[in-house]
Chains A and B, each alone.
Chain A
Amino acid sequence: MLRLIKIEWAKVSSYNLFRVILIMTGSLFLLVLFVLSRIDISVPGFSTRNIVRFPNIWQSFVWVASWFNVLLAILVIVLTGNEFASKTFRQQVMSGLSRNEWLAGKGILIVGLALFGLILIILAALIYGVIFTRDMTLGLIFENSSILFVYFLQSIGYMVLGLLFITVLRSNALGIILYLLYFIFIEPITRLLCPVEVRGWFPVKIISHLTPIPEFLQLASQNGNLQTDNFSFESMGLIAKQLSQTVTLAMAVFYVILFSFLTWLVVRKKDL
């Protein structure tokens, strides 16, 4: 395990694009949070500052961070695609690395990038939360923080799907274009063509719904736990009815396993 981590680190640590995308992801994320924290609209019983206060901060920051998961997935596509393009995957296999070990290395890369996102959220949330929350308790700080696990799973889901695309296509340009097309056009159009009851079960729908748009109006209400559905986007008809969180989580895990298995099959069977 440590050996594979060292191998993967040696490959990426000196790669400029790797650094650029990580810095870009971090910077853009922090920039959005900064803008979000500057919005201060307060009326009696309602304050936008609640969005950056514990415990709501976890949900809102995770949602913002989820925008950048596609960037991390593109990074995985590029790093893996490079190994096909420059045939270094082939060189490593000839040197004694098994195909399974190579794939495990990519798994480590994906988990590492997901951890990067996770740590970024935790640090940012702790800093902003401490700045903007009054009357903090330990319980309040970590309330709702379980959504971090959901973010982690979502992040892995996006990247594993990217890994599957690039192992099948083996071309960075094609991999990135088709990956984005799948997100923006192919799956949404396919969903539209399917019966309503099937639409919620598609992979991107499931994975993206792990961190749905927070109900900001509800979060911004004075006590942060408004129990009415009046402010729900779903009840307003702005978004389609979704599967329950438990089913969504289970399906996301299923898709991550399925994409990983398909990637393993492709890596195992194809010539290098």
Chain B
Amino acid sequence: MILETANLSKRYGSILAADKITLQIEEGSAFGLLGPNGSGKTTTLGMVMSVLKPDSGWYKWFDSEPNSPVYKQIGCLLEVPNFFPYLSLKKNLEIIVRIREVEMSDINRVLDETGLINRKNSRFDTLSLGMKQRMAIAATLLGNPGVLVLDEPANGLDPEGIAEVRSLILRQRERGKTIIMASHILDEVEKVCTHVAVLKKGTVIASGEVDKLLQMDDVIIVSTDKPEILKAELESRVLVKSVIINGNSLEIIPAGGVDSAAINKLAYEKGIVLTELRIKKSTLEDQFLQLIK
């Protein structure tokens, strides 16, 4: 196991930022932490990277207690890039190289890989936001670590930059590295990750393989003058996975084997008049929104 956490919790005053986070991440997998802003993704990564002290719970890297040599095998970008603004990219990376005790020649390799080789003597504070982000990714690659922890790696990038970063991460995945990536962008997680844990208000509300967890269900849209009654009937008969009322409309994700005809029949039997009944293809985004609602 690359990373294992059990009941990791962290509170900031009255706010419970992470509540009993339990994860298991296997070698070679690309694991996404997916959730809206404030769901506890960064806090969770901060705790496992030893920069935040958990209030309770524990975590292990490579099946052993975390210590600083362990972190030399992990490349991490947490929140925004953190470098000395007055130093050049090369000098900043030299500091990381000395910390990790790897070869100085690696600096050129990672700058080349992230397209920053021509700016290696530029001061960090003269870079654009996108370049800073790429610089942070370059730092994570120093020493060719087996694990990459990336918190919102596409943050601040333009569409072209996002595509570049994505292909860079995918290249690392193809090389057998374990990727742990936090993002609030479903599309990013779906394109990069094999596994995902969905976080909401500091709690893991779902986890598993991306394909299974975010499978595309159809959504049945129904309009009626008695939405509350219909919702109660559907839920009492376990005909649905979830129902959301939106005015007089209901967005229904049916349970397995249930189709629109079954819902129409139920409404007829209960004397509920349907003014609309249609099927909408669900997107991954719909599934994600269903999960976090």
> Does residue A245 face the partner (Cβ distance < 8 Å to B)?
no
> Does residue A14 face the partner (Cβ distance < 8 Å to B)?
yes
Question: Chain B 190-209 against A: per-residue CB contact (8 Å), 1 yes, 0 no?
Answer: 00000000000000000000
Cα A187 to Cα B97 with chains together (Å): 43
| Closest Cβ neighbor of A14 among chain B residues | B87
| Chain A residues within an 8 Å CB radius of B49 | 93-94
> Does residue B20 face the partner (Cβ distance < 8 Å to A)?
no
| Residue pair A3, B101 in contact (C-beta under 8 Å) | yes
| Residue pair B51, A272 in contact (C-beta under 8 Å) | yes
Cα A98 to Cα B74 with chains together (Å): 14
| Chain A residues within an 8 Å CB radius of B99 | 7, 92, 95-97
Q: A86-B84, A96-B71 are in contact. Are A10 and B51 (CB under 8 A)?
A: no
| Residue pair B82, A10 in contact (C-beta under 8 Å) | no
| Residue pair B50, A92 in contact (C-beta under 8 Å) | no
Shortest CB distance B138–A (Å): 12
Cα A16 to Cα B46 with chains together (Å): 32
> Does residue A6 face the partner (Cβ distance < 8 Å to B)?
yes
Q: Which of B88-96, B211-219, B231-239, B258-266 contacts A (4 or more CB under 8 A)?
A: B88-96
Cβ 8 A contact of B95, one of A7, A15, A90, A269: A7
> Does residue A241 face the partner (Cβ distance < 8 Å to B)?
no
| Residue pair B69, A96 in contact (C-beta under 8 Å) | yes
> Does residue A144 face the partner (Cβ distance < 8 Å to B)?
no
Cα A111 to Cα B60 with chains together (Å): 36
> Does residue B62 face the partner (Cβ distance < 8 Å to A)?
no
The B-contacting residues of A in range 12-60, CB under 8 angstroms, are 14-16
> Does residue B53 face the partner (Cβ distance < 8 Å to A)?
yes
| Residue pair B98, A3 in contact (C-beta under 8 Å) | yes
Q: A94-B71, A96-B71, A101-B68 are in contact. Are A14 and B51 (CB under 8 A)?
A: no
Count of chain B residues with a beta carbon within 8 Å of a chain A beta carbon: 32
> Does residue B52 face the partner (Cβ distance < 8 Å to A)?
yes
> Does residue B179 face the partner (Cβ distance < 8 Å to A)?
no
Cβ 8 A contact of B98, one of A10, A15, A82, A270: A10
Q: A7-B99, A15-B86, A101-B68 are in contact. Are A94 and B53 (CB under 8 A)?
A: no
> Does residue B85 face the partner (Cβ distance < 8 Å to A)?
yes
Cα A3 to Cα B98 with chains together (Å): 7
Cα A93 to Cα B95 with chains together (Å): 12
> Does residue B100 face the partner (Cβ distance < 8 Å to A)?
yes
> Does residue B41 face the partner (Cβ distance < 8 Å to A)?
no
| Residue pair A90, B98 in contact (C-beta under 8 Å) | no
Which of B51, B94, B100 counts the most A-chain CB atoms under 10 A from its CB? B51
Cα A88 to Cα B83 with chains together (Å): 5
Q: A86-B82, A86-B85 are in contact. Are A92 and B95 (CB under 8 A)?
A: yes
> Does residue B78 face the partner (Cβ distance < 8 Å to A)?
yes
> Does residue B76 face the partner (Cβ distance < 8 Å to A)?
yes
Shortest CB distance A21–B (Å): 14
| Chain A residues within an 8 Å CB radius of B53 | 269-271
| Residue pair B51, A95 in contact (C-beta under 8 Å) | no
Q: A3-B101, A11-B95 are in contact. Are A98 and B68 (CB under 8 A)?
A: yes
Q: A96-B71, A271-B51 are in contact. Are A6 and B98 (CB under 8 A)?
A: yes
| Residue pair A94, B51 in contact (C-beta under 8 Å) | yes
Shortest CB distance A99–B (Å): 8
| Residue pair B68, A96 in contact (C-beta under 8 Å) | yes
Q: A3-B101, A6-B98, A96-B71 are in contact. Are A11 and B84 (CB under 8 A)?
A: yes
> Does residue A91 face the partner (Cβ distance < 8 Å to B)?
yes
> Does residue B72 face the partner (Cβ distance < 8 Å to A)?
yes
Cβ 8 A contact of B91, one of A10, A16, A87, A96: A10
Question: Chain A 261-272 against B: per-residue CB contact (8 Å), 1 yes, 0 no?
Answer: 000000001111
| Closest Cβ neighbor of B67 among chain A residues | A98
| Residue pair A272, B94 in contact (C-beta under 8 Å) | no
Shortest CB distance B177–A (Å): 17
| Chain B residues within an 8 Å CB radius of A101 | 68
A residues in contact (CB < 8 Å) with B? 3, 6-7, 10-11, 14-16, 82, 86-88, 90-98, 101, 269-272
